[in-house]
Amino acid sequence: LPEEPLPPGLPSCPLPGKICDVARGERPGSCCGMAMAGLRTAKYQLPEWHRRNARVYNRAYAVGEESERGRAEAKHLTKHAAACAQRAQEYSKTTLAQRLQDIHFWRVELQKEIVELDAETNLLAAQKLRLERTLDATEVPYGVVTDNLQCRERRQPPDLVIDEVERQLLKEADLIRNIRDLLKRTIIQATNQIRSNRIQKEFCELDWSDKVETYHIDDKCVGYSNDSTDIQAHPSSVKFEENASTPKTWAQFSHDNIYSAEQEKLASVQLRSLINNIIHDVSEDLRMQRATVNEAFDNHCRELDDAKLRLEQHLEKILKDIGEEEANIVALKKAIRDKETHLKVAQTRLYDRSFRPNIELCKDEPQFRLVSEVEELTVFLEALKRKLMESEQCLKNLEETRMKLEKEIAVKANSIFIDREKCMTFRIRYPVDLEVASYK
């Protein structure tokens, strides 16, 4: 406010001294006496009267000037205060409107992040469901492989060997176990990411909710005017709260929430891509291993068929040899009996000729011939008997070989039945594609 001007000065002039002398004895009839001592009872002088009037006029003029000046200053102050108050109110309304724009901007950004993060969380949940279905789908091939290994344990020696089929089945079992472990770890990772997404979404929702409430409050404040009926005096509202934020920290808080939401969303997108790759890769690996095992089964079954066929051919030949050897033994026995009959005839002749009398007991040509015949027949009989023994041993060997061949054929037939009828038939239940199964 402008400094109040001083009142105009009065003309300086010496004032008359106060005369307090009382003329004694001039007025013998005075009753004042000593009680009126010190008070002027005489009349004022004319200059004194003029000066006194001048002082009254000047004082009245000064008071009037001061009053006029005060009224002018009050009027000016009133106009200035009204203008300043109006400007301040308009500026406050403008700042509130700007603040509403800022709040609206962050509210829209937060709402956008909430919607996108919720959609991304739903997509990740769908991928997690695919992982769980893929994990469930691996139970069938693992059961098939386990059953194949258990069935092949029932093969009989010497077919109970660790062949290529066995190695590929064990490799397939290890592959399925590794796939299941990988799927379980990925499911846990997806669960943690979904939890992080929802936590960050909750942070954004809380911030968005605060922004909505603040927007309504500031929008209500923008609508206040001097004519509003719900305005009240709140003298204590001018102080700042100790925990109040600054515009920089306020904007940084929402920025950090949006940035964290973007990071979680990016991590979720990368994890979804990783899940797609994992499902595709494990499906392809399992499909290739399944084809390898089936090929090993086919090759092994062909080998078993060839081996069984060769054994059957050998068995057919052995059976033919056994028949021929049995006929040979019968022929040898008949030959031995015939030769024994011839020997008996010759020996009987020699025996009867030994009874010739006297000089008739001659070593003649028939005698020598009969002796030679007996010796010759004896040699033939020994040879035939040895050959009979050899033939009987050969027949025994042929019978043992026949039994071995029949046993080998039975073993091969059992192995073929296990591999082809049990294992390969059961492998038909094997899922064609895990990636397709993950959508079912």
pLDDT of residue 21: 43
Q: For residue 395, tell me if it sits in a domain.
A: yes
Rounded CA gap, 55 and 64, in Å? 14
Q: For residue 324, tell me if it sits in a domain.
A: yes
Q: 348 lies in which domain range?
A: 307-439
Predicted confidence (pLDDT) per residue in 234-262, tens digit: 777 777 777 788 889 999 999 999 999 99
Is the pLDDT at 19 greater than 70, yes or no?
no
Q: For residue 72, tell me if it sits in a domain.
A: no
Please tell me the total count of domains within the chain: 1
Predicted confidence (pLDDT) per residue in 77-93, tens digit: 999 888 998 899 899 88
Q: For residue 133, tell me if it sits in a domain.
A: no
Q: For residue 50, tell me if it sits in a domain.
A: no
Handedness of CA 287, 289, 295, 300 (dihedral sign): negative
Is the pLDDT at 27 greater than 60, yes or no?
no
Tokens found for residue 37: 């001592």
Using CA atoms, how far residue 281 sits from 134, 186, 278, in Å, is: 12, 14, 5
Using CA atoms, how far residue 195 sits from 42, 119, 192, 261, 355, in Å, is: 110, 14, 5, 13, 128
Report which residue type is found at 337. Answer: R
For residues 335 and 27, which has the higher predicted lDDT (pLDDT)?
Answer: 335
Predicted confidence (pLDDT) per residue in 326-337, tens digit: 999 999 999 999
> Of 11-20, 264-273, 378-387, where does mean pLDDT reach its minimum?
11-20
Above pLDDT 90, what percent of the chain? 62
Q: Would residue 161 be called left, alpha or beta, if left means φ above 0 and alpha means ψ between -120 and 50 degrees?
A: beta
pLDDT of residue 317: 94
C-alpha distance across the termini of the chain, in Å:
85
Is the pLDDT at 180 greater than 50, yes or no?
yes
Q: For residue 158, tell me if it sits in a domain.
A: no
The model's pTM is 0.71
Rounded CA gap, 212 and 206, in Å? 10
Looking at every residue in the chain, the average pLDDT score rounds to 86
Q: How many CB atoms lie within 10 A of CB 4?
A: 10
pLDDT of residue 14: 45
Q: For residue 349, tell me if it sits in a domain.
A: yes
Q: For residue 294, tell me if it sits in a domain.
A: no
The three-state secondary structure class of 92 is helix
pLDDT of residue 227: 81
In contact, 130 and 438? CB cutoff 8 Å:
yes
Task: Please state the rounded mean pLDDT for residues 120-141.
Answer: 93
